Structure 1
């Protein structure tokens, strides 16, 4: 590997770390502010199904969490799956994030329980999972297929989260996030 390639890879990894680090920092700063300054009232900016005002939550919900346990549970898979999403091309992360956020958000808004508020980055996490699992299928490239297999082995059990399981967990966000990731995989596929 030439010195130029090494520099380019190092620079790309720095950019990826900055993107993921900034996202996680926003999650944590907002949750700390919500807990210690706003007394949990920022959660009201989440997705409120069937409410026009609740549509704003499509933009804000991924950045809000229901306490430190929720935030911690979302941080590691967000970083790992987010980084794997940008591994091939950093810009894929942004496309997958936007498509997933919109599909997940509108899905929750349409099919979520009335009088509920949906928050958290889980929709994005399931979007990255859907993207990574199906990208290999749509692209039919060896590298993408290998990443799909590794993600399937490490995180495949998360797929059960798209089914209704526990009260207070937005399975709708998981399901539509996953579908958003699959849609993004199809949109970004480059077959060889």
Structure 2
């Protein structure tokens, strides 16, 4: 059973996604500036040397358009992950990269699969299904927002566009659903307060004797004496609505 979470903003909600996005832009700049091509560091299915792409492929992009289209959803979705699920955010990110890359390696076509879109599909799938399973109003609202912003992405898990790694998208979708199921008990819950009834009876003589006929509080100092030393003065602060 995971520890109970509560929604709370922290610097990591912005800093971690921003650093990740800046890193993939830095890799792309390095390729352009020094005329490198890191495509062969992508996932190449069913080849042992293609396994290195399981780790490196999310940081490699084929063009500025490819990188730009991945940047905004990657930042928004990872920031949402760190805000709503900070205790498991790193697990979802790191294992999401590894598992989606490994699944792509198993089912992909014989070509290099690169880009962060596989991880984006992990995040979309996890945030959507986790919110539905949680049955928490904020998380359901997040699920609906994800559908509104990125719902059309579901079509790209099918081979409808040439040159696009639909296998990577499908792998990310499956891995995100898998995480939503295994972490289904990790649900943020609101703080609950228990209200207890007072231990006195408002109609009893013991209660009413502290007020005059107009409902005003009377400071009572008439204490019964048992012949022992003088008892200390006691004031009981009890409040009652004035009905006049």
TM-score, reference length from structure 2: 0.70
Q: Report runs of 4+ in structure 1 exceeding 4 Å deviation.
A: none
1:65 aligns with 2:61: yes
Secondary structure at the residue paired with 2:88?
Answer: helix
Please say if residues 118 and 169 of structure 2, whose CA atoms lie closer than 8 Å, have aligned partners that are also in contact.
yes
Distance of aligned partners of 1:9 and 1:146 in 2 relative to their CA distance in 1, 3 Å threshold: closer
State the match for 2:180 in structure 1: 185
Contact 2:129 2:180 in 1 (8 A): yes
In 1, the alpha carbon distance for the partners of 2:87 and 2:20 equals 15
Distance between the aligned counterparts of 1:36 and 1:165, measured in 2?
33
Deviation at 1:137, TM superposition (A): 2.2
* Match of residue 211 from structure 2: none
Instruction: Please give the root-mean-square deviation of Cα atoms over the aligned residues, in Å.
Output: 1.7
| Structure 1: distance between partners of 2:31 and 2:152 | 31
User: Among residues 132, 138, 141, which one is paired with 1:137 in the alignment?
Assistant: 132
Q: Distance in 1 between matches of 2:23 and 2:133?
A: 33
In 1, Cα distance between the equivalents of 2:182 and 2:82?
15
1:143 match: secondary structure: helix
1:20 aligns with 2:13: no
Q: Map of 1:70-109 to 2, 5 A cutoff?
A: 70-109=66-105
Partners of 2:133 and 2:98 in 1: CA distance: 21
Higher helix share: 1
Q: Verify: 1:45 aligned to 2:38, yes or no.
A: no
* Mapping of residues 125-164 of structure 1, within 5 Å: 125-164=120-159
| SS of corresponding position for 1:90 | coil
Q: Deviations over 1:124-169 (max 9, x none)?
A: 1011000111012222222211111121122111111111111111
Aligned-pair distance for 1:29? 0.5
In structure 2, list runs of 5 or more residues that go unmatched.
1-6, 190-244
Moved more, 63-72 or 139-148: 139-148
Listed as ranges, the gaps of 5+ residues in structure 1 are 1-7
For residues 168 and 36 of structure 1, the distance between their equivalents in structure 2, rounded to whole angstroms, comes to 25
Which residue of 1 is the match for residue 28 of structure 2?
Answer: 31
Task: Describe the shift of the 1:170–1:71 C-alpha distance in structure 2 as closer, same or farther (beyond 3 A).
Answer: same
**Matched pairs, number:** 181
Counterparts of 1:99 and 1:186 in 2: how far apart (Å)?
Answer: 14
Answer yes or no: is the 8 Å Cα contact 2:103–2:171 preserved in 1. yes
TM-score under structure 1 normalisation? 0.88
Structure with max Cα Rg: 2
2:8/2:83 contact within 8 Å kept: no
